[in-house]
Structure 1
Amino acid sequence: MESLEYQVIHMDWSEQILKVARMDLLKDICRGTPVNTTLNSSLFNYASHYLNSTLFYNCNSPSTPQPDRFSCPASGDGYFAFKVDPLSKLRKLCNFSVFVPFIPILEGSKSANISRDTVRDILKNGFEITWIANTSLCENCTKSGGRCGYNWTRQEFSCFCRDKAYPTTCPAPSGMYARVTVAN
């Protein structure tokens, strides 16, 4: 999505919810791509229970400890900031920032320093998005005995049936209709 790869952690078909995590931040937040997490709003929406966070990198840190500071070997200090004010001091101290939504999992007081592993663990739990789709094609296909799919070559919906793929639904099996004979 939008030039980034995501790991799908969970899918809820009935609610049309995906729980996803950014692949580039799963292994090491210091090697993440300096690109904000954005969604194609014609295909996805953020679920209601995520929080905004921002990763700040390559910062000129003050000498006093700051909450949620972590260290990256190549770029020095970074910060994992929750609900960042647009006029935040961090925007002035740091060379770049990355918006990343997350689902809150850790409670408690903030420490002066946070480890990269802790931030990665928070982010690897992902965040939920809802997909925007008309599911009537899929429902009709399933009712006809097929499986929903997508034909990447033709760029269109396909209903995969026992014999082949069809544009909408599987045909009724032969023998389903009684033969009517007319007597003279």
Structure 2
Amino acid sequence: MTTSVVVLLSGSGTLFQSLLDAIDAGEVDARVVAAVSDRADAAGLERARARGIPAIAHPLERGADRSAWDRELAAIVAAYDPDLVASAGFMKLVGEAFLARFGGRTINTHPALLPSFPGMHGPRDALRAGVKVSGATVFVVDAGVDTGRILLQGAVDVYDTDDVDTLHERIKVVERRLLIQAVSEWKKEHP
């Protein structure tokens, strides 16, 4: 049975594109029913529009009521009745209202081997710590910051010549693969 997915994104949408490509190739039995971004100018929304996928911008304005934004985000996503919500480069934390509706079926990718290096700067923090292995994690979103149940992880060697950009690029390759795998396995594990 096909998994319906709403993708949350903030930027260029390369993780989103990798999922679309895997669906097109028949590697994943899923259908992206909408893409939602906290940024109106997110290139990922253009990727969605080019494919005829509903693309919704829902920015959190400076000084706005965060709880109201979260309730609105939950309502936007609920309108598409997804089996799964995939946060793919979405740079906002979801709150209580969102988790009340989609907790347990929202996954996120993270560019580090959690629980190490949570937060927005996983590759940078890994380099600063001097680790020899970093990687990517897909986890179930909970109320914490990158604290949910880990579903999948993939390791990436850290080279002495790495900077944040080179390490992050190699991690993104693994992140894309893990996102595809997590979406592919979702329906099998959550019939």
Pick the structure with more strand per residue: 1
Relative to its length, the structure with more helix (as a share) is: 2
TM-score, with normalisation over the residues of structure 2? 0.28
TM-score for the superposition, normalised by structure 1: 0.29
Query: Larger Rg: 1 or 2?
Result: 1
